[in-house]
Amino acid sequence: MAALSEVSSNRSFGGYQKVFSHDSKELRCKMKFAVYLPPQVEDGKLPVIYWLSGLECTEQNFIMKSGVQRYASEHGIIIVAPDTSPRGCNIPGEDDSYDFGTGAGFYLDAIKEPWSENYRMFSYITKELPEVINSNFATVEESQSIMGHSMGGHGALICVLKNPGKYRSVSTFSAICNPSIGAWGQKAFSGYLGPAESASWADWDATELVKKYSGPPLEILLDQGKADPRLETDLFPENFVNACKESEIPVILHMRDGYDHSYYYIASFIEEHIKHHAKYLKA
């Protein structure tokens, strides 16, 4: 297991908001992740929520803007927020646009060269990172949940649907629910997976995956702002909800009047989401 290097540590709501770096075997680069350790960690092992951020983000956005530390401290839950992509891999074109390459790993395992060597965020999030967290912090290994925003909402959904039973619960804000038909998703899938005719697209599209989900019972919580400018071009939560209903999988969709795609929106409802996850993590 690669050694961790502490990048920063700040006291917050009785616990510590920390950032670490380590050498990732999956991504073949140095990665950073943030971890909030609530005060209850001094008394024993705690459950974990993984947060996946959206396009252009790093490990910093969620921990600085959401206010999650207050609620993680109240409920005694560790929060882990990784970076959104490999960085500094020297791949031609990786820094050319905000929605592909650096900061836009899309939480899948790329199969198209030259991205396939480094851009393996799905395996990093579902395999390597939990091993790092469970080896270095006081966690209850079988008690973990996942949530995310936008591209990270897409990531949270596919992590759950492709790993039945691995997570206790899942929730999203402004998730890219049907990436095969949206501008953001089509650009990412074309670059990382190949042409649209490829069967691999359906393997990474939450709306397609939920149609064949056959794992343990799962209640999915989606949160969406009605004033989100990307709602009709990239997100498509209704498509996912309809697929859930056809597959008889419980799903909740909160449509929030006047809220957009920003962290002002996330901060407004993050407490509800932490309470939702706490219900399952401590059952």
Cα–Cα distance between 82 and 160 in angstroms, integer? 17
C-alpha torsion sign, points 49, 52, 57, 59: positive
Share of the chain above pLDDT 70, in %: 99
Q: Does residue 283 surpass a pLDDT of 90? A: no
Q: How far apart are CA 46 and CA 84, in angstroms?
A: 24
CA 252 to chain centre: 18
- Dihedral of the alpha carbons of 215, 34, 86, 164, in degrees to the nearest 10: 0
Percent of the chain's residues with pLDDT above 90: 97
CA distance 86 to 23: 11
Find out whether 63 and 9 touch, Cβ atoms under 8 Å.
no
Helix, strand, coil percent content, the chain, rounded in steps of 5: 40, 25, 35
When the candidates are 3.40.50.1820, 3.40.50.10860, 3.30.470.20, 3.30.465.10, the CATH number that belongs to 5-281 is: 3.40.50.1820
Give me the active site residues, please: 150, 228, 261
Q: pLDDT digit string (tens) for 118-166?
A: 999 999 999 999 999 999 999 999 999 999 999 999 999 999 999 999 9
For residue 204, give Cα distances in angstroms to 84, 134, 137, 199: 16, 26, 30, 10
* Cα–Cα dist 77/41, whole Å: 9
Task: Identify each DSSP E strand in 127-266 by its residue range.
Answer: 139-149, 170-173, 220-225, 251-256
CA distance 44 to 26: 30
Taking 80 as the threshold, does the pLDDT of residue 234 lie above it?
yes
CA dist 257 and 232 (Å) reads 15
Give the predicted TM-score (pTM) of the model. 0.97
3-state secondary structure of 259: coil
pLDDT at position 279 over 80: yes
Q: What is the pLDDT of residue 212?
A: 95
Per-residue model confidence as pLDDT tens digits over 209-227: 999 999 999 989 999 999 9
- Does residue 1 surpass a pLDDT of 90? no
> In this structure, are strands 15-24 and 29-37 parallel, antiparallel, or unpaired?
antiparallel
- The answer to whether the beta carbons of residues 84 and 103 sit under 8 Å apart is yes
Q: pLDDT, tens digit, for every residue of 62-71?
A: 999 999 999 9
What string of DSSP letters covers 134-158? HHHS-EEEEEEEEEEETHHHHHHHH
Angle between helices 263-281 and 68-75 (to 10 degrees): 10
pLDDT of residue 199: 79
Closest CA to 228 of 266, 178, 273, 275: 266
- What pLDDT is recorded for position 191? 97
* Per-residue confidence (pLDDT) for residue 207, from 0 to 100: 98
Number of C-beta neighbours around residue 49 at 10 A = 27
| pLDDT tens-place string over residues 6-28 | 999 999 999 999 999 999 999 99
Nearest residue to 274 (alpha-carbon basis) of 138, 107, 83, 146: 146
